[in-house]
């Protein structure tokens, strides 16, 4: 494992697209996992409002708060020197541009983040421009936008018909024009993802969006096999931490009940 060549700045990340280098992003919510991931070639750690769904056990991201995101992001920053992007939670940037600047500014000041991520296309372009003009890098998010799950009617693939696909392409162009440094595409058909990726000069990062994107992101706990009931088509598990946790806890319980732990090697004379 090596971190050599890992981007340290937003311009270096953008340059990866032109160089044909795929971008790797994982979610992270605490310092311990951040330290582990800091020693890997992962390019970006995303402190996502998905913390509400996996670790917190909720059905949506909607109840995530700004203070909650700042707490988790500050924890992650203590464990990593990698690029760190933080989700702006629901209603912290949609009400007004002034709110968006104030809240994104708090994230940057209090966490050491390298940028923020927000959801939406053309309607959010002016907000993106205002943030970028004030020195706050912005990553966009299109396709399935979890904060709009109630409007979208659930977690389903977006952009399947021609009109919806055209709107998504236009939204992506609007985000780039507004200054976004990258765009996440979530649950979009492979052909549409390829179309968007080819139309932009900034990177696309896919999740359930096929192999044509410039990079890929997964939720850490899903990728590690900790969220065992979550089985979407796009998810590939690269570990079985859930099984390891159960095995370790079972072994601990057995040794405590049989008197084998603590032994003399784990006790003070």
Question: Would you please indicate which residues are annotated as catalytic (active-site) residues?
Answer: 186
- Residue 216 has a CB neighbour count (10 Å cut-off) of 20
DSSP codes, 97-127:
HHHHHHHHHHHHHHH--SEEE---SGGGHHH
Task: Give yes or no for a contact between 93 and 100, defined as CB atoms under 8 angstroms apart.
Answer: yes
Cβ atoms of residues 236 and 229 within 8 Å: no
Taking the C-alpha atoms of residue 45 and residue 24, their distance in angstroms, rounded to an integer, is 9
CA 198 remoteness from chain centre: 22
132 DSSP 8-state letter: H
Q: Which residues contact 223 (CB under 8 A, 6 or more apart)?
A: 26, 235, 236, 237, 238, 239
Q: What does R_g of the chain's alpha carbons equal in angstroms?
A: 20
Query: b/e string for 106-142 if b means 16 or more Cβ within 10 A?
Result: ebbebbbbbbbbbbbbeebbebbbbbbeeebbbbbbb
């Amino acid at each position: 494992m090596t971190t050599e060549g890992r981007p340290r700045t937003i311009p270096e990340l953008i340059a990866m697209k032109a160089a044909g280098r795929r971008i790797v992003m994982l979610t992270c919510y605490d310092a311990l996992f951040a330290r582990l991931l800091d020693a890997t070639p992962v390019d970006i750690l995303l402190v996502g409002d998905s913390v509400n769904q996996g670790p917190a056990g909720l059905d949506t991201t909607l109840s995530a708060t700004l203070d909650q995101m700042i707490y988790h992001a500050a924890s992650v920053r203590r464990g990593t020197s990698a690029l760190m992007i933080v989700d702006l939670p629901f209603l912290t940037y949609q009400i007004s541009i002034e709110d968006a600047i104030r809240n994104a500014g708090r994230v940057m000041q209090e966490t050491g983040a390298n940028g923020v991520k927000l959801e939406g296309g053309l309607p959010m372009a002016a907000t993106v421009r205002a943030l970028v003009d004030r020195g706050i890098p912005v990553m966009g998010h299109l396709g399935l936008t979890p904060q709009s799950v109630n409007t979208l009617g659930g977690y389903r693939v977006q952009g399947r018909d021609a009109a919806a696909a055209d709107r998504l392409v236009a939204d992506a162009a609007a985000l780039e024009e507004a200054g976004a440094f990258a765009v996440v595409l979530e649950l979009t058909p492979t052909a549409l993802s390829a179309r968007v990726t080819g139309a932009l000069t900034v990177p696309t990062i896919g999740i359930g969006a096929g192999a044509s994107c410039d990079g890929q992101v997964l939720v850490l706990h899903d990728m590690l096999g900790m969220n065992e009931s979550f089985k979407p088509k796009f998810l590939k598990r690269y570990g079985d931490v859930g099984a390891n946790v159960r095995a370790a806890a079972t072994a601990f319980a057995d040794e405590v009940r049989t008197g084998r732990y603590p032994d003399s090697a784990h006790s003070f004379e």
